[in-house]
Amino acid sequence: MSLPAPFDQFVFNDRLEKELKRFIDNPRALPEVTCFWGHPGIGKTSFAKEYSSHFARSETYHPMNEITGNITEAFKATLPFNKDTVSLESFLDDSESLNKVIGHVAILDEFHNLSGSKQDYFKTVFDEMNARSDWFRIFLCINTDKKRRTPESVLSGPIYSRCHHINFNTSMAEKDPFVDRLCERFTHLKRNEIACWLPDIRRIKREDKIRSFQST
């Protein structure tokens, strides 16, 4: 199985590809708040941006950090629609592309940088947006590493319970067939190099590009 264009630029393991394809085939089924989690460099934010640009009429990108001031008010100020006066149907009447079936997507990147108390500020924001689920979707992108292994260890309880979670990591059982798939895509690299550099797909892409220039 492989993802359809333009998502075929991504290389994911079979389990993740199957899960993401469900929401590509039926974008209206995407939950209101979806959390992409996994190691840095494996395509979470890139996929969120590609998905948003393909299926949403508008999108905003918000890198999260601890020095942000009134973070929820600043976030809400970016939302482009008045939920009381605009309907999805009237909005889509003017659509130039039939696949633009989501009104607005907000990408909250590096959400793990926020403390639990600052994460909790978003509870009411998420609930307000859920009430307009025909309009809004939110992607949370969080990094997990050796210290923070799961979303439960990164997200506050109230935020965790409001999310649908998609694991971008590759388990040991998934690794060998995933390495085979990566070898087919990145032909300038040796198999042992790819296996060694996982899970950093970003580095694998970069090294393959460098080798391709060196071989010309």
Name the token pair of 126: 């998420």
Q: Hey, what amino acid is at 141?
A: C
pLDDT, tens digit, 9 for 90 and up, residues 36-46: 999 999 999 99
Per the model's pLDDT, the better-predicted residue between 163 and 86 turns out to be 163
**Does the pLDDT of residue 50 top 90, yes or no?**
yes
Partners of residue 60 on adjacent β-strands: 106
- 9 vs 26: CA distance, rounded Å: 19
pLDDT given at position 85: 46
pLDDT, tens digit, 9 for 90 and up, residues 171-213: 999 999 999 999 999 999 999 999 999 999 999 999 999 999 8
Q: Where in the chain is the domain with CATH 3.40.50.300?
A: 7-167
Q: What's 7-167's CATH class?
A: alpha beta
**Does the pLDDT of residue 214 top 70, yes or no?**
yes
User: Given pLDDT bands bounded at 50, 70 and 90, which one contains residue 55?
Assistant: very high
Average pLDDT of the residues in 125-145: 84
- 133 vs 100: CA distance, rounded Å: 15
Name the token pair of 108: 């909250």
- 166 vs 14: CA distance, rounded Å: 13
Average pLDDT of the residues in 61-71: 71
